[in-house]
Amino acid sequence: MTVASGAPSSSQALDPEVQEDLKRAVAKKAVEMVQSGQIVGLGTGSTSALFIEELGQLISKGKLKDVYGVATSYQAKVLSRQAGIKTLSLNEVNRIDVAFDGADEVDSQMNLIKGGGAAHTMEKVVDKLAKKAVILVDQTKVVSQLGLVFPVAVEVLQPAITPVLRSLLALGGEPEIRSALRKDGPIVTDLGNFIVDVRFPNGIKDAAALEKEINNIPGVVENGLFTGFVQSVLVGVRDGNENVVVQLAEAIEKIKP
Ligand SMILES: O=C(CO)[C@H](O)[C@H](O)COP(=O)(O)O
């Protein structure tokens, strides 16, 4: 599978309404993969929110029974409750059958940048624990190289912020503490930590190595590089005839920006 020819390249912005249509189409396709009795990881962000909405509709129509969600954030938990999906905490489940999550960037190896919603720490826990992680994106997220556009989000223990910033600079990054729109000062994550967005102006050459290097810095909780474990990506694409198409990539080297 390749992303349909005629699709704008990933760096090209889409009309927000078209992008929303692509996300919705992906969410609708994704819920078809859920089976009754499953425990489902629920990601964070606007695409995951549409998935939660669609899943809630299937449950309320009785088309899916005994489905439980494991939320990756406060947002996912509240949206699940509103959609009528029962949630359990990680400590109450003995498995996660499948997790559905969004991403900020996806490369041809199905490595990801996540963390635009500052929820990547619990997303990584849930997505990696799941028997299968399915990533839901529109075509704007598919890139030839990670990091050229989107920074890597790093969750950092508050008391360690200064030495962590120094270490991130030493790795060649350009770190910036994420601030809130409607609050003076840094945002604080669901887990009580700061977020540092690290730009790598020349892109990321070895995402797996960088993921490990950043996580080795004392004071770092988790970073938003997800490498080496995702095997399914659903991509919403607008084809040359302006039709919305959802493509499933299930092996590495299959997504082309
Ligand atoms: O990683 C995430 C949250 O931490 C999101 O999945 C990512 O930011 C994509 O969000 P959206 O679907 O709104 O584009």
- pLDDT tens figures, 47-94: 999 999 999 999 999 999 999 999 999 999 999 999 999 999 999 999
Residues 209 and 242 in one domain: no
What are the residues facing 177 on neighbouring strands? Answer: 196
Residues 171 and 231 in one domain: no
In single-letter form, the type of residue at position 101 comes to D
Within a domain: 256? no
Residues 77 and 192 in one domain: no
Pairwise CA distance, residues 224 & 226, whole Å: 6
Within a domain: 3? no
Q: How confident is the model at residue 243 (pLDDT cuts 50, 70, 90)?
A: confident
Retrieve residue 45's tokens: 């962000």
Residues 240 and 124 in one domain: yes
Q: Mean pLDDT over all residues of the chain?
A: 92
Within a domain: 211? yes
CB atoms within 10 A of CB 125: 17
Range of the domain at 133: 16-141+227-249
- Rg, C-alpha atoms of the chain: 18
- Our mutation pick for probing the ligand 1 site, out of 104, 150, 155, counting the most ligand atoms within 8 A of Cβ, is 104
Residues 187 and 135 in one domain: no
Pairwise CA distance, residues 156 & 174, whole Å: 15
What are the residues facing 152 on neighbouring strands? Answer: 198
Q: How confident is the model at residue 254 (pLDDT cuts 50, 70, 90)?
A: low
Residues 204 and 120 in one domain: no
Q: What atom of ligand 1 comes closest to residue 23's alpha carbon?
A: 12
Q: What is the pLDDT of residue 12?
A: 64
Q: What is the pLDDT of residue 251?
A: 57
Q: How confident is the model at residue 255 (pLDDT cuts 50, 70, 90)?
A: low
Q: Over range 104-118, report the average pLDDT.
A: 97
Tell me if residue 213 is catalytic.
no
Give the predicted TM-score (pTM) of the model: 0.92
Pairwise CA distance, residues 47 & 26, whole Å: 8
Q: What is the pLDDT of residue 205?
A: 97
Q: How confident is the model at residue 242 (pLDDT cuts 50, 70, 90)?
A: confident
Q: What is the pLDDT of residue 256?
A: 59
Within a domain: 8? no
Retrieve residue 151's tokens: 């920074």
Q: Tell me, what DSSP letter sits at residue 190? A: T
- State pLDDT tens for residues 177-199: 999 888 899 999 999 999 999 99
Pairwise CA distance, residues 207 & 63, whole Å: 40
What proportion of the chain, given as a percentage, has pLDDT over 90? 84
Within a domain: 257? no
Count of the separate structural domains present in the chain: 2
Pairwise CA distance, residues 144 & 166, whole Å: 29
Ligand 1 binding residues, C-beta < 6 A: 43-48, 101-104, 114-120, 123
Q: Residue 172 maps to which CATH number?
A: 3.30.70.260
